Amino acid sequence: MKMKKYLLLLAMGTSLLMFNSCSKKEDNLDEPIIGLGGVRYYKTPLDIALYEMYTKPYNIEVAYRWDAGLMGFTTTLIPAEEGRVLPVMNILKKGWIEPFETVVSADFVKRYIPKQYVLIGSYAYLSNGNIVLGSADQGLTVNIFGINQINLKSEGGISQVIGTVHHELAHVLHQNIMYPLEFEMVSAGDYNSAGLSVSQANARKVGFITGYGMTGPNEDFATLVATMLSNSKEQFDAILETIPEDSPGVNVGKTRLKEKENIIIAYFLQAWNIDFRELQKKTHEAKMALIN
């Protein structure tokens, strides 16, 4: 199946996901690495720890040194602080990988999760003022921005990191097995490429969890999956309760989001044999354990 490139942008301080793929092969830990401009360096204890914790068991590569080939030549960015690399990857392991291993299987994780993570210290900023929090390419590479600034012990900071990877995995899943047409039909006629300029509150009034979700059905699906899995069921229900009624007893936004939520739960079970509620519960428990 042809893999499409996806871009996630949540306006005004939320996230943008762009995609840029690259892969490396590093088999001999004693060999120097040739970096940008021919700079040679040897693996450090951090590199060895990442290799043992992520490359060996999951075939995951973690890139954190500055490499314009991975991070782009046109945006001003700051390299990741080495002391924050393992904490970020620990969030991914404890809050994302392990819940999937527990609820689904280790084989699922090894087959479907992206295989390269590029950690970047600063956020990127677009000309319209939006902030780039993350980017990904065809289910292969995920760039995580702003790791020098994220509060890695706060619920919001952990949810930001986890939400980025949940969003990208949602794309991987629907690229392999498409979600039902009924999902798109819930908001048929309301998708709009100008959704990036719609506020979150206004997007929710018409049944989208973010303005970015309005830009197309695939982003609607991915942003909703990411939001659901970045929150407990109770937290997600509380989000829906903040959506105001259109008139007494009528709440179009809440009704549509509940409809989509139910379709997603059924899709995960029927297409992937995944108990979504159990996955949501385990992910939330892991997130709260990371805070404490």
Parent domain of 131: 8-291
**Rounded to an integer, what distance in angstroms lies between the CA atom of residue 62 and that of residue 55?**
8
Structure tokens at 30: 């004693």
- Whether 18 is covered by a domain: the verdict is yes
Q: How far apart are CA 23 and CA 140, in angstroms?
A: 9
- pLDDT, residue 43, reads 83
Instruction: State yes or no: pLDDT of 285 exceeds 80.
Output: yes
Residue 110 clears pLDDT 50, i.e. is over it: yes
Give which of 289, 282, 288 is closest to 96, Cα–Cα.
282
Helix H or strand E segment including 91: helix 85-92
Give the chain's length.
292
Tally of domains within the chain: 1
- Nearest alpha carbon to residue 8 among 134, 117, 128: 134
pLDDT class for 41, splitting at 50, 70, 90? Answer: low
Segment 58-64 mean pLDDT: 92
Asked if residue 170 belongs to a domain, the reply is yes
* First-to-last C-alpha distance (Å) of the chain: 42
Tell me the pLDDT band of 31, cut-offs 50, 70 and 90: low
CATH number of the structural domain spanning residue 192: 3.40.390.70
| Cα 117 off chain centre by | 11
> DSSP secondary structure string, 115-159?
SEEEEBSS-EE-TTS-EE-EEEETTTEEEE--TTTS-TTSHHHHH
- Residues 6 or more apart whose CB falls under 8 angstroms from that of 22 comprise 69, 70, 116, 141
Lowest-confidence range among 116-125, 243-252, 261-270? 116-125
Query: What confidence category does residue 5 fall into, taking pLDDT thresholds of 50, 70 and 90?
Result: very low
Residue 40's H or E segment, with its range, is strand 40-41
Split at pLDDT 50, 70, 90, the class of 80 is: confident
Identify whether 108 is part of a domain. yes
**Is there a domain that residue 47 lies in?**
yes
- Percent above pLDDT 70 for the chain: 78
Residue 58 CB: number of other CB atoms within 10 A? 16
pLDDT band at residue 243 using 50, 70 and 90 as cut-offs: very high
- Confidence at residue 68, expressed as pLDDT on a 0 to 100 scale: 65
Stronger pLDDT, 241 or 137, i.e. the higher one = 241
pLDDT class for 130, splitting at 50, 70, 90?
low
pLDDT of 258 > 60? The answer is yes
Which among 160, 174, 203 is positioned nearest to 290, based on CA atoms?
A: 160
Question: For 174, which DSSP code?
Answer: H
More confident residue, 77 or 72: 77
Least Cα distance to 147 among 124, 125, 121 occurs for 121
pLDDT at residue 146 in the model: 86
Compute CA 291 distance to the chain's CA centroid, rounded to the nearest angstrom: 19
Please give the radius of gyration of the chain, using alpha carbons only, rounded to the nearest integer. 19
- Residue 50 included in any domain: yes
Q: Is residue 2 part of a domain?
A: no
Average pLDDT, the chain: 84
- For residue 86, tell me if it sits in a domain: yes
Identify which of 131, 172, 137 has the alpha carbon closest to the alpha carbon of residue 150. Answer: 131
User: Whole-model pTM?
Assistant: 0.83
pLDDT grade for 42, boundaries at 50, 70 and 90: confident
- Lowest mean pLDDT, pick from 22-36, 64-78, 197-211, 238-252: 22-36
Q: Considering only 40-54, 55-69, 135-149, 273-287, which range has the smallest mean pLDDT?
A: 135-149
Residue 14 pLDDT = 36
Q: Are strands 61-63 and 134-137 parallel, antiparallel or unpaired?
A: unpaired
- What is the helix (H) or strand (E) element at residue 255, kind and residue range? helix 252-272
Task: Enter the tokens of residue 8.
Answer: 């996630």
